[in-house]
A and B are shown apart, each in its own frame.
Chain A
């Protein structure tokens, strides 16, 4: 029996929320030993995602992912969370995959392992391996199916007596019911309604009356555990358009604040939401494809933006709004849109309500931190029902930095505007 020291691998915390950092430590290695630290996730869709970094142990036989440099792999440099954000489908996987947790009541499970060597590290069994859990729901968060007043969604309520501020949470053009961001927001103390407003591929025929969204907002506002004057709206992509439209046009709802990720203000006033698709359809010829045949839609957006009557008058907004966009967004000209919004708000003397976050080399799908970067994924085009690969844009490292930075700022923005501050000024 060998008397060699056994490597010890630990990850703290082993159970965490998806936006929490962890520390990965390997100890008891020989000094100066090349090792590879590897993460593996088996998704709900049965795909395998992985990331890895090449490290060298120090003179005490330790590797600390938080403190040491990765010399290669799916990420390099000092990257405490690289094992998560640089994950990508393993070789041989299907194309155009996106990793999204549908069942938020269970955690994402990841195997974190340490292997000997850099090159060819997979040839042998790992030296050690641990399992970690990453949760969207904190303990005590309640999940409630909402099927009332014609609205379909899922409500997440934080633990505790409340009352809490509320959020209406909307995703984009892919459709369906995505709960994970709302679950995470509830874990941060907001009652959050993840709203389903059309089924995937069904945007053309969906019943998208403005009133649907106003009712959804009121479901949050009227909830006994929600503070009715502290309800905000959170949107991404198409969801951002809806968010801005509600803030500007609605006579029924008054959001306390808005967060719009990768959004734009192209919503012809007076038109119904179903009309949004009409604009896209008319300009569909502006869709380009790149050398991989991925769809690039940003020129469609640029064309629509040329028409002043296609846009919301953002000068009419009366609540704080946070715009989060990526400069490499290939799906929509979101930065140009933000410029235009800023101009409108400046002209109306509302500049003080606007906060803009724009990130270099960042694409369209700006998600909660440590999620992998999706540069191009499968998408069903609503107009043609084609299955294409949509180019969202971004480069992995800068995009991941943007996800981490923007989430922190989004939470601060929400806390500032939805949780009262103790200063007397806030009592107005």
Chain B
């Protein structure tokens, strides 16, 4: 049928949702058996456009329900309620190696969902759709307060949930690029946890003094949280991704100041000179730079830098000392860090030490390094400029789209359950 369809009804519920909430996309009022494409378009803050689409055939009532009907092709296939978000990819002609990250969390991610006639794969921007709606995806729930923190020399942002409190707290650490990334902390606050997003590689004091922070910086961050009138000082967790795990594990195992209720590490490692300062740790990594490999597309694979896992105890955080529950999230296709091998080694160490009852590991085959909150696209490789380094490279993070997206959804849900069990 190629007659132009009029009066197509398209709805997305909820039209304003949190980033980790599902939605239902419903197309109604088309001819039975009508072939159509449901399309998502998002222009991110840096100006790049991303799109995703699925091919559907309307049922006998002239309806397509993306949550229940299979996509027959497109950027995702099968029954995928959220495929329109997690399969987003840069539009043709985009610069290679871009990554979608929301820097301003006070405004929503806006996605235009449209319906086009027929099963199409390109040229959407040149056509008029049959219907289109705008969907907002928020990192901040209503009433979440965003508070920039500069006391004690910190470069951080605190997100407080709405309500009188007091709330459990969380220190949120990202990885090697540095910068102050707020979105995960904002989302955690939307789930009732007072979260402090901490820039520890490129904070103002480091940039000014020309040297990396030391343990005291993390102790200050912990104290700021602990002493906040709306935070329960005895219920503070730490969450790290990538290099953030290195810090998290070290603090959890050795710090006399940080008394963590629990810790979450996503795709990181315990391998580091345990008595080393941040600078010495970085040096340790750079010493092994000869182990760097390259993919066929010349992307940098860093995972071997820390392999094989050392047997020398001075080169690994002694996780046998941990006294709080630890959740490890492992993407088995992580090409940037040896998350799999590290998790195996940590498990063994804790079994030997007798504290493995504290350990939970979530293994995700074919998931890559950047396991983030759900429904944002897999970044399999992107341009990466490590903090303190002048060069930009194309880093291979790994992961296969469908498996990685499932991992993000599952890991986030289980992380929230883990935090709820231990903090509430």
Residues of A bordering B, CB below 8 Å: 1, 5-6, 8-9, 12-17, 20, 28, 109, 113, 125-126, 128-133, 135, 138-140, 158-161, 163, 165, 189, 227, 415, 419-422
Q: B233, A419: Cβ atoms under 8 Å?
A: no
Nearest 9 CB-CB pairings of A with B: A131-B143, A140-B134, A129-B163, A15-B16, A160-B132, A139-B134, A13-B14, A1-B234, A131-B142
Q: A20, B14: Cβ atoms under 8 Å?
A: yes
Q: Type the 1/0 row for B121-148, where 1 means its CB is closer than 8 Å to any CB of A.
A: 0000000111111111010011100000
How many interface residues does B have (CB within 8 Å)? Answer: 46
B150 within 8 A of A: no
> Which residues in chain B, 88-146, are within 8 Å of chain A measured between CB atoms?
110, 112, 114, 128-136, 138, 141-143
Q: B162, A12: Cβ atoms under 8 Å?
A: no
CA distance A133 to B190 in the complex (A): 14
In the complex where A159-B132, A161-B128, A415-B9 touch, is A13 in contact with B420 (Cβ < 8 A)?
Answer: no
Apart from A15-B16, A20-B14: 18 A-B pairs, beta carbons within 8 A: A14-B18, A14-B141, A15-B136, A109-B142, A126-B163, A131-B141, A138-B15, A138-B133, A139-B16, A159-B133, A159-B134, A160-B10, A160-B114, A160-B131, A161-B128, A161-B129, A161-B132, A163-B6
In the complex, identify which listed stretch (B26-34, B40-48, B177-185, B383-391) lies at the interface while the others stay far away: B26-34
CA distance A299 to B164 in the complex (A): 52
27 residue pairs from A and B, CB less than 8 Å apart: A1-B232, A5-B424, A6-B168, A8-B420, A8-B424, A13-B16, A13-B17, A14-B141, A15-B14, A15-B17, A16-B14, A16-B16, A125-B164, A128-B163, A128-B164, A129-B162, A130-B142, A130-B161, A138-B15, A159-B132, A160-B114, A160-B129, A165-B7, A227-B6, A419-B7, A420-B7, A422-B32
CA distance A144 to B339 in the complex (A): 55
Q: How far is the CB of A24 from chain B (nearest CB, A)?
A: 14
CA distance A140 to B10 in the complex (A): 13
B192 within 8 A of A: yes
Whose C-beta in chain A lies nearest to the C-beta of B14?
A13
Q: Type the 1/0 row for B1-38, where 1 means its CB is closer than 8 Å to any CB of A.
A: 00000110110011111100100000001111000000
CA distance A388 to B62 in the complex (A): 52
Residues of B bordering A, CB below 8 Å: 6-7, 9-10, 13-18, 21, 29-32, 62, 110, 112, 114, 128-136, 138, 141-143, 161-164, 167-168, 190, 192, 232-234, 420, 423-424
Residues of the A chain whose Cβ atoms lie less than 8 Å from the Cβ of B131? 160-161
CA distance A163 to B233 in the complex (A): 57
CA distance A415 to B30 in the complex (A): 13
CA distance A421 to B141 in the complex (A): 38
CA distance A8 to B421 in the complex (A): 12
Whose C-beta in chain B lies nearest to the C-beta of A141?
B134
Q: How far is the CB of B126 from chain A (nearest CB, A)?
A: 13
Q: B135, A139: Cβ atoms under 8 Å?
A: yes
CA distance A160 to B129 in the complex (A): 8
Q: How far is the CB of B140 from chain A (nearest CB, A)?
A: 10
Residues of the B chain whose Cβ atoms lie less than 8 Å from the Cβ of A8? 192, 420, 424
Residues of the B chain whose Cβ atoms lie less than 8 Å from the Cβ of A125? 164
Q: A420, B29: Cβ atoms under 8 Å?
A: yes
Q: A419, B10: Cβ atoms under 8 Å?
A: no
Whose C-beta in chain B lies nearest to the C-beta of A129?
B163
Q: How far is the CB of A129 from chain B (nearest CB, A)?
A: 4
Residues of the A chain whose Cβ atoms lie less than 8 Å from the Cβ of B31? 422
Q: A12, B21: Cβ atoms under 8 Å?
A: yes
